[in-house]
Amino acid sequence: MLKYIDTPTIEIFDAVLEKAEIKLFVKREDQNHPFVSGNKWWKLKYNLQEAKKLGHETLLTFGGAFSNHIFATGAAARELGFKSIAIIRGEEILPLNETLAFAESCGMKLHYVTREEYRSKTNPEFIDQLKKRFGDFYLIPEGGTNELAIKGCVEFAHQKLSGIDFDFLCLPVGTGGTMAGIVAGLEGQKTVIGFSVLKNGDFLKEETKRLARDFSGKEFPDWHIETDYHFGGYAKRTNELDQFILRMSQQHKLPLDFVYTGKMVAGVFDLISKNYFPKGSKIVMLHTGGLRL
């Protein structure tokens, strides 16, 4: 088992919140592990157990050069004694960026493929070729989203959110895996709002619904995905976003990144300023980690 550190839920005090009569909190799940942080811890938990149970020695996964998932998988492999291989989209760029340098320092083997090849990442023939080349492995898909990842996020909702009093849970959405798990875990008892970090995030509504339904056999009410807070698209940033992240860091000692959590928190503050939330609402923002960019 990966080590786990229990995380606090911190209240944020701000004039904007007082005016709107909103109570705002952040669940600092980014502090749950020094390297396998935030949602990645929960997405990997049951995949790592399954790999051990099946007797695998090696984990193989996919990602881009800035992927928090690659970073976390490398660290988890090192902690639990797996070998690890990452299939990286695009050409090798030296010196390695922080994400890949860290993954390599964990013993992760980095294998670069063209963008065209990378598109075959779920094709069984391509996976077979990888097995011929690298030997047997436990496959974790791109971004780490699969049924066992959702199982972990359901467990997070049951174990770590059930003790908190709130009306809305807000989180950033990449593949929809974490959102699906939290929606299935909260079972419509609370409203869940996801913030797409992708430019054309509309497909995430269907994708999240499908993931939650495939996992639990049910459809859940009281959740949706905001698609207007991508700030230009995946890993894109604007001055406005950078200013906001700086303000959160200085005024509230809240560290955010511009790929995921910065966009979500900016979206929550914008909705609050537009009086989206009823007066008296309690909102929890989930800090999903990923501060190594």
Quick check: 260 binds ligand PLP (CB under 6 A)? yes
**Is the separation of the CB atoms in 230 and 201 below 8 Å?**
yes
Quick check: 227 binds ligand PLP (CB under 6 A)? no
Q: Find the residue with minimal CB distance to ligand PLP.
A: 290
Please pick, from the candidates 63, 74, 152, 176, the single residue that binds ligand PLP as defined by CB under 6 A: 176
**Is the separation of the CB atoms in 72 and 37 below 8 Å?**
yes
Total number of residues that touch ligand PLP (CB under 6 A): 20
Which secondary-structure segment (H or E) carries 71? helix 68-80
Cβ neighbours, 10 Å, residue 126: 15
Please pick, from the candidates 169, 173, 212, 272, the single residue that binds ligand PLP as defined by CB under 6 A: 173
Quick check: 178 binds ligand PLP (CB under 6 A)? yes
Sign of the dihedral defined by the CA atoms of residues 245, 250, 256, 257, in that order = positive
Judged by CB, which is closer to ligand PLP: 20, or 227?
Answer: 227
Phi, psi of 68 (to 5 degrees): -65, -30
| The residue type at 228 | D
Instruction: For the CB of residue 293, give the shortest distance to ligand PLP in the complex, in Å.
Output: 9
Please pick, from the candidates 152, 174, 185, 262, the single residue that binds ligand PLP as defined by CB under 6 A: 174
Instruction: For the CB of residue 271, give the shortest distance to ligand PLP in the complex, in Å.
Output: 18
Quick check: 74 binds ligand PLP (CB under 6 A)? no
Quick check: 152 binds ligand PLP (CB under 6 A)? no
Quick check: 172 binds ligand PLP (CB under 6 A)? yes
Quick check: 175 binds ligand PLP (CB under 6 A)? yes
Cα 52 from chain centre:
23
Instruction: For the CB of residue 131, give the shortest distance to ligand PLP in the complex, in Å.
Output: 25
Residue 36-65 contact track with ligand PLP, rule CB under 6 A, x = bound: --xxx-------------------------
- The residue assigned the tokens 């996020």 is 153
Query: In whole angstroms, what is the distance from residue 150 CA to residue 25 CA?
Result: 24
Query: In whole angstroms, what is the distance from residue 51 CA to residue 193 CA?
Result: 32
Question: Could you tell me the maximum CA-CA distance found in the chain, to the nearest angstrom?
Answer: 62
Of 206, 89, 187, whose CA–CA distance to 143 is shortest? 89
Contact set with ligand PLP (CB under 6 A): 38-40, 68-69, 143, 145, 172-179, 260-261, 288-290
